[in-house]
Chains A and B, each alone.
Chain A
Amino acid sequence: GNSVTQMEGPVTLSEEAFLTINCTYTATGYPSLFWYVQYPGEGLQLLLKATKADDKGSNKGFEATYRKETTSFHLEKGSVQVSDSAVYFCALLEYGNKLVFGAGTILRVKS
């Protein structure tokens, strides 16, 4: 079946550092891809998405590009803030209805 693999965390960075969280997927066809963020005690919030190959999703300084050649959707941010500390989930949309999530990556940003 379809699956998503994320880099293991936690990832610990200093404020203003560059962030990359790797995500690769296995799927038949070309699913839509997403990054969700989960703050402590809260539900998941959509951070960005890309619905077809070569699309770039972006939001709040975060970016990810849908690369079908490498089946990847890596999350990047040029300068992280303490407020970005959260758990980040990569996901794909399977058959138009089912979101399949990666294991999640904890990000900790120190001031």
Chain B
Amino acid sequence: DAGVIQSPRHEVTEMGQEVTLRCKPISGHNSLFWYRQTMMRGLELLIYFNNNVPIDDSGMPEDRFSAKMPNASFSTLKIQPSEPRDSAVYFCASRSGTDPYGYTFGSGTRLTVV
């Protein structure tokens, strides 16, 4: 298995532009999580999905952030418009319903907003 695949690995964009981060979970995993990592705040859960349905989006910082999971093999996190304070590493993780402890993380997308 290729693991959780995130793209792009690095993204540099100008303030005000729309940014879309992508995640492909492990096949058969039915939960998907988006985390953000910054020096100031550490790792924060933004949103998670069970069976493609958003369950808890209380960590989404503002309305500028949105996430979708149109099917079991794909999810996006969109920031529109982006701001310099959104610069961070964004991680996607997936988990199987049969192993509640088995989170697998992707390699992350490093976002820089200038």
Question: Which interface residue of A34, A43, A49, A51 has the most chain B CB atoms within 10 A?
Answer: A43
Interface residues of A in 1-57 (CB under 8 A from B): 32, 34, 41-46, 49, 51
Majority secondary structure, A binding face: strand
B42 beta carbon closer than 8 Å to chain A: yes
Contacts of A100 in B (CB 8 A): 45
Question: Which interface residue of A44, A101, A102, A104 has the most chain B CB atoms within 10 A?
Answer: A44
A82 beta carbon closer than 8 Å to chain B: no
B114 beta carbon closer than 8 Å to chain A: no
Given A43-B91, A103-B42, A104-B42, A98 and B101 contact (CB-CB distance below 8 Å): no
Interface residues of A in 57-97 (CB under 8 A from B): 89, 93, 96-97
A98 with B48: CB separation less than 8 A = yes
Total number of B residues with any Cβ neighbor in A under 8 Å: 20
Q: List 13 A-B contacts (CB under 8 A).
A: A42-B107, A43-B106, A44-B91, A44-B93, A44-B105, A97-B50, A97-B55, A98-B45, A98-B56, A99-B103, A102-B42, A103-B42, A104-B43
The residues of A with any CB-CB pair to B shorter than 8 Å are 32, 34, 41-46, 49, 51, 89, 93, 96-104
- Known contacts A46-B101, A99-B45; can you find 17 more A-B pairs with CB under 8 A? A34-B101, A42-B108, A43-B4, A43-B106, A43-B108, A44-B91, A44-B93, A44-B105, A49-B101, A51-B101, A93-B101, A97-B48, A97-B50, A97-B56, A98-B56, A101-B43, A104-B42
Contacts of B31 in A (CB 8 A): 97
Interface residues of B in 41-90 (CB under 8 A from A): 42-43, 45, 48, 50, 55-56
The residues of B with any CB-CB pair to A shorter than 8 Å are 4, 31, 33, 42-43, 45, 48, 50, 55-56, 91, 93, 100-103, 105-108
Residue of A nearest to B91 (CB): A43
Q: Give CA–CA (A100, B42) in the complex, Å.
A: 10
Q: Give CA–CA (A44, B108) in the complex, Å.
A: 9
Q: Give CA–CA (A46, B93) in the complex, Å.
A: 12
